[in-house]
Amino acid sequence: MLRRPIGAAAVFLVCVWVAGLGTVAAAPTPVPDGRPDLNSMTFLIGTWKCDALVRGKSRADTITYSLGYDNRWLLSHDVAPPFDQYRTRPITSDAWTTYNPLTHQWVQITLDDFGSYVMATSPGWKDGSLTWTSTVANDGSTGHDTFTKVSDTQTKDIAGGADPSGKPGPTVTTTCSKQ
């Protein structure tokens, strides 16, 4: 007598399990596919010759800008030659810049061959300038940088910062001309 109710219950559970196999799976989570408006930065695309005034001395370097990652990032490649007793070998850095519409800020990530990486943000262009605030992620120093578009072929950048203890570092002024 007990076999029938147990058998019926087993058949019922198997039917429920099989019916569950036929249910529609949840839709996959969509991948964001935003396209930031980089138009205000495209004047930079190309090669720029720059001159930086560092600790009272002039230092030349070359920066090349391009669009990358399906035109979602402005890429820069910077090669600065040895300069003084503090920098005895060239330094190469690459930066990726884009606009984050969720935070309404420009975002920049920079890496160099000295092992540094910097994360910076800017609220955007104001009176022809971008003001960046940054943190050197692997040592805790901070920076501030005002990048000014003088014309489509000229820029000026004034940067400074502080070491992890808060001691201010030198201010560096860089002017660049598009080649």
pLDDT at 24 over 80: no
Does domain 39-178 match CATH 2.40.128.20? yes
Q: What is the pTM of this model?
A: 0.79
Per DSSP, 46 falls in state E
- Check pLDDT > 80 for residue 93: yes
**What pLDDT digit, counting tens, does each position of 159-168 carry?**
999 999 999 9
Residue 143 near residue 136 (C-beta atoms within 8 A): yes
Q: What pLDDT was estimated at residue 164?
A: 93
Confirm if 166 and 149 have CB atoms less than 8 A apart.
no
pLDDT number for residue 33: 77
Average pLDDT over residues 25-33: 79
Q: Can you tell me the distance from the alpha carbon of 156 to that of 140, in angstroms, rounded to the nearest whole number?
A: 26
- The arithmetic mean of pLDDT across residues 109-134, rounded, is 96
Q: Which residues contact 76 (CB under 8 A, 6 or more apart)?
A: 44, 63, 64, 65, 94, 95, 97
Residue 74 has pLDDT above 70, yes or no: yes
What is the per-residue pLDDT for 53?
87
Provide mean pLDDT across the span 7-18: 52
- Contact predicate 94/77, CB 8 Å: yes
Residue 68 confidence class, pLDDT cut points 50, 70, 90 = very high
- For the segment 93-101, the average pLDDT, to the nearest whole number, is 96
Hey, where are the domains in the chain? 39-178
Band (54; pLDDT cuts 50, 70, 90): confident
Residue 147 has what pLDDT? 98
pLDDT score, position 27 = 83
Q: What pLDDT was estimated at residue 5?
A: 56
- What dihedral angle (degrees, nearest 10) is formed by the CA atoms of 171, 153, 133, 107? -150
What is the average pLDDT value for the chain, to the nearest integer? 87
